[in-house]
Structure 1
Amino acid sequence: MAEKNFFEPKQSLNVNGKLIDLSTPKVMGILNITPDSFYSNSRTKTIDEALTKAARFLNEGATFIDIGGYSSRPGAKDISADEETDRLIPVVEVLAKEFPEAIISIDTFRAKVAEETIRAGAHIINDIASGDMDDKMFETVARLQVPYMIMHMQGTPQNMQQNPVYNNVLLEVIDYLAKKIAALKALHVHDVIIDPGFGFGKATQHNYELLKQMEAFKIFKLPILVGFSRKGMIYKTLGTSAAEALNGTTVLNTIALQKGAGILRVHDVKEAVECVRLVGMLR
């Protein structure tokens, strides 16, 4: 039995003492507290707007709400940690009070922001840089003992799409994640979620190569998060726009679910939840 358990993928997260079952994939709604996110309809300007959007996400079936105060779109403006924290804390505090059942994830690469938002009521840290942009992040997550999402990104949000180059994108992403996972295990971080980083430091062909071979990430036996929602890999391929990319997002989410995705990070929760339900009928 011990051997069987060792080789089975991890299908739960411990979120503040509550176990989240990922044997059925879950949906994460994106709540951007930023004025410059790439998809303009996702920008949330006030606390009331944040409450309304969070309520809709939860009613539509989201398990997680991912709040970001720093735009990571290609070429995004850099802001200070204090400005990022000032954007996030009021929203986290209100959401934690109004929706105590909600699981709040914080999209940040800064240890200071991670710590302050967890103290304010958040539960999970979603780090696009996997500690590369703040050398205190790993030790902070280990001390807080919260689930930690690590993503592969080549470069920074400011330069990541300036001609990204790989010899073998799949092997390089797997090697990167393997090293991060080993470092986190050494620090006794127990709940790690991996994200291949679609659209982060990757040309269109790199994104589709990763998706084509996404089953390879099952080697880690960890939950896999994917984020395609309305990204350039969809609308640039189709010659449309982010506003017209919902159908393409659903197509890629469907493929990812069939290849082992455990969490869909999306702007459009209802459609993603429906996608999970329908793909689940094939299992």
Structure 2
Amino acid sequence: MVRKGGEVSLEERQSKATEDFNRKLRSVPARKDRVNESLAGLQEFADSGGTLFQSRNRGRATSLNQQLHKNCSEEAEYLRKLLSDIEKLKELDLKARTQMPMSRQQLMQCLGQQGESLPLWIGGVDGFPPPSVGAVEQPASAPLKTGDAVAALVDENWILAEVQAALPGGKFEVKDVDDEQKTQLVLSRNCLIPLPKYRADPLRDGHAIFPRDAIVLALYPQTTCFYRGIIHKTPEIATEQYSITFEDSSYNTGYSPALPIHQRYVVSYRDPPDIRHR
């Protein structure tokens, strides 16, 4: 369905994105077959006595290895694009759900699903993960885009919000995700902390994981507010969460028991009184 003025409806965008994804998915087996054929050819060459490191076989071995590398690289790049398409489908689904009225319980379930489904960063063999992967922050000067999830400083509290628009003068219009009235807030960039867009794999990119005892801002379970906490235990594999103790005066120790928090909702601590020129 296309709305007046030529605007494509959300339902139409979801339908088209799903159709495109299914079409691309059908090409995956053929790409896998090409990789397997290259592997089989290299193995057959080795089994036939073509020692890979003998000078007389070096040309043939090099050619087979190059073909295998090419096929593997093409398959990997194609799968990365499919993963990106999956994220777009998730975003469209989330947008469709958030446009409908949600109960408090439904909102908490939605936030939990977003934390679980945060895509895993899959980089190359070498290189450092880019900003927005795990604990790797975006520079303070980095622009924010419509739809970006942020921790927003409102009345000395950090709340979960979504960027609605960039405004002149370095200001941004954001929406409190827990505001049923959908009141628009206007804040400067230094009052906004972008949330991670990818999970970091502790086994591959451990340097993109907050270390034990690091002081962070994290979303307290069953709320939409970020509070100061300390990393009690770091994730050991990509599917694990942080274990975080929060400052809480209701406990004798001054800290809550350790609670599991998804990477999506953990950012570097920033003290509100230190923020100026809002």
The alignment's TM-score, normalised by the length of structure 1, stands at 0.25
Between 1 and 2, higher relative CO (CA 8 Å, sep ≥ 6) is seen in 1
Q: Which has the higher strand share?
A: 2
The alignment's TM-score, normalised by the length of structure 2, stands at 0.26
